[in-house]
């Protein structure tokens, strides 16, 4: 029996086939994405942006999206790059090979959950200390924060929709925490 290289293994979502809806809020797993942590100095932002075909955001709590690719600002020299898996899996490190930046594939470490509905903000605030009001955390805002006892990366994609990145090993905890939050609405 031949074995596949690790990068060619199918990525099964740890919350595969789970769906929860109640109180006008929907919770669902996000389809597989390629995820890269990108580290680059300020003087590399323009050239790396050109190679990626998307401008790296340089302000705290901001993100940019171009087609299947989203880049979230995590720190002065750190970004999370998300790309829908079917568009071009694992090609980002090759594109950046001639630069002095650091790219680490975290696709198998992370997973994501989508929280959507009028009560989504309230559900998150059951365990997230971040001020999620629309005037402080508008569409496109992102941050590293916590939900209960789990670190998450939170991206507001629209008024009532949040993309929640978490480690696969914490995904069941995050899911159950969100389900409990939805039930309390």
pLDDT at 32: 83
Which strand (E) or helix (H) includes residue 50? Answer: helix 45-52
Answer yes or no: do 125 and 163 share one domain: yes
Answer yes or no: do 153 and 168 share one domain: yes
Number of domains in the chain: 2
What range defines the domain where residue 86 resides?
A: 33-106
Answer yes or no: do 95 and 125 share one domain: no
What token pair was written down for 107? 């696709």
Q: What is the mean pLDDT of residues 82-95?
A: 69
Asked if residue 141 belongs to a domain, the reply is yes
pLDDT at 8: 59
Q: Please say whether the beta carbons of 63 and 53 come within 8 A.
A: no
Asked if residue 53 belongs to a domain, the reply is yes
CATH code at position 171: 3.30.1360.120
What token pair was written down for 179? 């389900």
Answer yes or no: do 86 and 148 share one domain: no
Q: What is the mean pLDDT of residues 128-132?
A: 96
Answer yes or no: do 113 and 178 share one domain: yes
Q: Please say whether the beta carbons of 25 and 38 come within 8 A.
A: no
List, for residues 42-74, the tens digit of each pLDDT value: 999 999 999 999 999 999 999 999 999 999 999
**How would residue 95 be classed by pLDDT, with cut points 50, 70 and 90?**
confident
Asked if residue 3 belongs to a domain, the reply is no
pLDDT at 87: 52
Q: Which of 57, 82, 106 is the last residue of a domain?
A: 106
Q: Which of 106, 129, 155 is the last residue of a domain?
A: 106
Answer yes or no: do 54 and 141 share one domain: no
Percent of the chain residues topping a pLDDT of 90? 74
Q: Please say whether the beta carbons of 15 and 29 come within 8 A.
A: yes
């Amino acid at each position: 029996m031949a074995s596949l290289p690790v990068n060619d293994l199918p990525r099964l979502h740890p919350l595969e086939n789970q769906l929860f809806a109640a109180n006008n809020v929907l919770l669902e797993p996000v389809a597989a994405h390629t995820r890269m942590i990108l580290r680059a100095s300020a003087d590399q932002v323009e050239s790396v942006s050109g190679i990626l075909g998307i401008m790296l955001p340089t302000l705290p709590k901001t993100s940019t999206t171009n087609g299947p690719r989203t880049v979230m600002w995590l720190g002065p020299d750190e970004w999370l790059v998300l790309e829908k898996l079917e568009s071009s899996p694992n090609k980002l490190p090759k594109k950046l090979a001639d630069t002095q930046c650091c790219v680490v594939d975290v696709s198998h470490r992370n997973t994501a959950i989508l929280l959507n509905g009028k009560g989504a903000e309230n559900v998150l605030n059951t365990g997230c200390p971040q001020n999620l009001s629309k005037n402080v955390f508008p569409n496109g805002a992102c941050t590293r924060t916590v939900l209960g006892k789990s670190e998450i990366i939170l991206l507001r994609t629209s008024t009532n929709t949040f993309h929640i990145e978490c480690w696969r090993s914490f995904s069941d905890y995050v899911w159950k925490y969100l389900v409990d939050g939805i039930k309390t609405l």
